[in-house]
Amino acid sequence: MLHVSGPHERLVSQLAQIKELSGLSLRALARDAGLSSSSLSRYLTGRLVPPWEAVVALCRVVHRDPRPLRPLWAEADKAGTAPGPRRNDLPADLFDFTGRERETARVEELLRTAGAVVIDGMAGVGKTSLAVHVAHRMAGAYPDGGLYLDLQGFTPGQEPLDPPTALGRLLGALDITHPPAGEQERAALWRSELSRRRALVVLDNAADADRVRPLLPGAGKSAVLVTSRNRLVSLDGVPPVSLTPLADDDAARLFGTVAGVALTGEDEVGQVLDRCGGLPLALRMAGARLRHRPGWTVGVLAERLRDSPARFDAAFGMSLRQLDDPDRRVFRLLGLLPGADFDTGVVAALTGLPPGRCADALDELVDAHLVLESSPGRFRMHDLIRQYAADLAAEEEPASGTAQRRVLDHYRERAETYDRMLPSPHRPAPAPGDPQRAMAWFDLEYVNLIAAFDLAVRLGADEVAVALPQALRVWFFRHRGTDDQVRLLDGAAAAAGRLGRDTERAALLADLGYALAAAGRLGEALAAYREADRSGPADGLAATLALRTGFAHRDLGEARTARESFRRAADLFERAGNRAGHAQALAFDAFVTLRLGQPAQAAGLARAALDRADGPARITGLVTLGVALAHDGNDAEALRHLHEALDLAERNRLQHQQAWCHTYLAVALRETGSPERALEHHRTALALLEPLHEVQLEIECRQAYETTLAAHTAGEG
C-alpha cells in the first residue's frame, strides 16, 4: 500500500535536510538562526509547525532560497501539527454573544498594536466572555494556538495562583515539564518561549498586577489578554479596557436572543432589564427562564423578579425556583467542589445520586445558565454563581462535609486506579489498562487533584492527604521539580505522622528529598533524607535513602562523603538480595571513585556493576568504565563502552541520560586528544538539556564543557 505523507511530514523532512546541510548541532543551528533550541527541537520532531519567519531564518543559515518552501509551509500550517491539533486551551465561545462592538474593536486593536490588554469590570459583567470571544475571533493571527489559564483571583474556596505556580502551568502547556525552580528563571524562560511563537494567552481572573507582571510576554509576536475585577493601573505597558453593564439596547437584544422571543411591552422589558442590572450573566439566566416557560410572558417574568430584594438574588433565585428540589440540591452542592471544573462522575460522588440522574440535573443547570458546559462532558461555574451556591450550601446543607469527603474519596480512588496502569521501576507489572489514557486523565484532572489535596488538609482528611501524592508519584516523576510536588509531599508526610504511620512517612520524606534535589535544593533534600532515616524506614527504603543521599553529596561536590553513602547503599542492597539496586550503587561508587582520581579502582567497580545490571541500568557503569579506560590510554575500548551507553539511552528515549553520555564521550575524546570532536558532543549535550531544565545535570555538563574548551584554547595557543 502506497503511503503518502501529509504536508507537515514533508515540511519536517525539508527542515531535517536543512539541518543536515548546515553540518551544525541543534544548539548551534538554533543560535545561528536566532531560534531557541527547544523550539527548533519541536520543529524538527514534528511537535510544532514553525512560523514562516523561523523557516526563513533556517534557510538563510544554509544560504537557501526559502520561497519554494512557502506553499508547503502554508499547507502544513493550515493542516496543523501532524501528531494532533495545535494547542488550544480556550473555553468555547458563546454562540449568543451580543453587543460589545466598541469594546471588541478596542481590544482587538490593542492586541494588534500593544500586544496586551486588560479587561476589567465588576463580577458578572462579561469580562471572560469578551476575552474568549476576541481570542476566537483572532485565532487566525496566532498560528501557534491559544493558551488559557484561570489565575483564581476571586474563585471561592481557592487561593490565587502565585506567579511561580502559574508560570509552571503555562510552561507545561508548551510541553516544558522541567521548568527551573525560581520565579525569575521561569519568567525569563516563558518570555523566551513566547518570543519564538505567535500565541495568544488569556490570563483570566487576575487578583492584582503583581501576580500578572511575571506572566507577560516580552518581545515577539505573541499577545496576552488579562481579565480582572480590579483596575490593574500599575501594569505598565498593558492598556485597560473597562466594561460597564450593557446599555439597554444591547441588554434587551441579549435577553431576547437567549429567551428566543420577540420582545413587546416596553415597561415589562424595562423592569426585567433593571432587575438584571445590565449584567450579561443575569440577563442570560433570566432569558433562559422565559425560554423554558412557554406559558410565561415578559410581564410574568418581571413580576417573579420583583419578588427578590437583590438583583443577583432576583436572577439566580428565580432560576433556582423553577428547578425541582433534587436539581436545586445538586446546584447547592456544586458550590462545595474543589478545583476548576468537573464531570458527571464527580457530581455523582458529591451528591450520592446515580450518574444518569446527575447528567439530567446538569442538563437542567446548563439550560438555566447556572452551569457552563465548557467542553463535552466537562462543566464549570462562574465564580459569582459558585459563591452563590456555596452560600446556599452553608445555610441549607448540614452534611456538606460528608459530601466533600465523598468527592475526596472519588478523586483518590480514580487517581490510584489510573496510577496502577502506569509503568514504573517500583511496579514491575502495571495493572491492565491504557497508560496513555491514564496519563491523559492525570493531565486533565491535575488542577482538581491539587485542589482536592488542599481541601483534604483543611478538612483533616489525612488518609486522602497521604494517598494523593503517592498516586501522583509516576506523573510527578515525568514532571519532576514542580512546586506542587514539594508542597504535597511535605503535607502528606505530616499527615502520615499524625496517623502514626512512620514507615509511610519515611517513604514520603524520601520522595520529598528526591523532588527537592531535582529542583536543585540539595541542602533541603539532605535534611528530608535525614528525617526519613529517623522515621524508621523499611530495609529497602534505607538502601534507597543511602543511594539518594550519595547523589546529593555528589552534586554538592563532596565526593568522599558521597562514596561512603554509595558503599552503604551497596551493602544494604546486597544484603536485601536486590541485584539491580546493588548494581546501581556500585556504578555510582565507581563514578565518584573516578572523580577522586582512582581510575583503576573505578574501572573494577564499574565492571562489577555491569556484571549485575541489565538494560538502561548499565548506562552509569558503561560511562564510568569508558572514562576510566580513556584515562589509562585504552582509547578504542573506552569509546566502545561510551557509545554503547549512548545507544542504550537513545533506544530507551532517556534524554537526560543522552546528554550525560554525550558529555562523557566528550571527556573521553578530550583525554584521547580529539578536542574538536569533544566540543561537538558537549554542544549536543547542552542542546538536549535546554528543554529539560535539570539543574544539577546542567551544572555538571557545563563544567565539563568549560574544561574541554579551556584545554582546546590552551592547545591552540
pLDDT in tens, 220-244: 788 999 999 888 888 888 899 988 8
Confidence label for 148 from pLDDT (cuts 50, 70 and 90):
very high
Number of domains in the chain: 5
Residues 109 and 226 in one domain: yes
Q: What is the pLDDT of residues 242-272, one digit of tens each?
A: 888 888 888 888 888 888 777 665 677 888 7
Q: How far is 83 from 43, CA to CA, in rounded Å?
A: 12
- 112 with 226, same domain: the answer is yes
Q: 17-63, pLDDT tens digit by residue?
A: 787 777 776 667 877 887 766 677 767 766 677 888 888 889 888 88
Q: Domain boundary residue among 203, 222, 242?
A: 242
Domain containing residue 73: 7-79
- Are 234 and 129 members of one domain? yes
Q: Is residue 600 situated within a structural domain?
A: no
Percent of the chain with pLDDT over 70: 91
Q: Where are the beta strands (DSSP E) in 627-700?
A: none
Give yes or no for a contact between 485 and 493, defined as CB atoms under 8 angstroms apart. Answer: no
CB 219 within 8 A of CB 195: yes
Residue 202, domain CATH: 3.40.50.300
Q: How far is CA 464 from CA 407, 426, 497, in A?
A: 11, 21, 14
Residue 643 located in a structural domain: no
Task: Tell me whether residue 546 is in a domain.
Answer: no
> For residue 424, is it within any domain?
yes
Residue 217 has pLDDT above 70, yes or no: yes
66 and 105 assigned to the same domain: no
pLDDT number for residue 4: 33
Q: Binning pLDDT at 50, 70 and 90, where does residue 310 land?
A: low
Confidence of residue 158 (pLDDT cuts 50, 70, 90): confident
The CA distances from residue 15 to 9, 29, 56, 79, in Å, are 10, 11, 11, 17
Residue 402 in 3-state DSSP?
Answer: helix
709 in any annotated domain: no
Any domain includes 68:
yes
pTM for this prediction: 0.69
d(CA 207, CA 561): 48
Tens of pLDDT, residues 483-537: 788 999 999 999 999 999 999 999 999 999 988 887 778 899 999 999 998 887 7
Provide the pLDDT for residue 218: 82
State the CATH number of the domain containing residue 339. Answer: 1.10.10.10
Strands (E), 56-137: 116-120
Please name the residue that has the C-alpha cell 514562516. 52
Tell me, what's the pLDDT at 36?
A: 67
Considering the domain architecture, whether residues 125 and 217 belong to the same structural domain is answered as: yes
Is residue 160 domain-shared with residue 172, that is, in the same domain? yes
- Domain assignment of residue 580, yes or no: no
Whether residue 253 is found in the same domain as residue 202 = no
Question: Of 288, 321, 354, which one is at a domain's C-terminal end?
Answer: 321
How high is the pLDDT of residue 5?
45
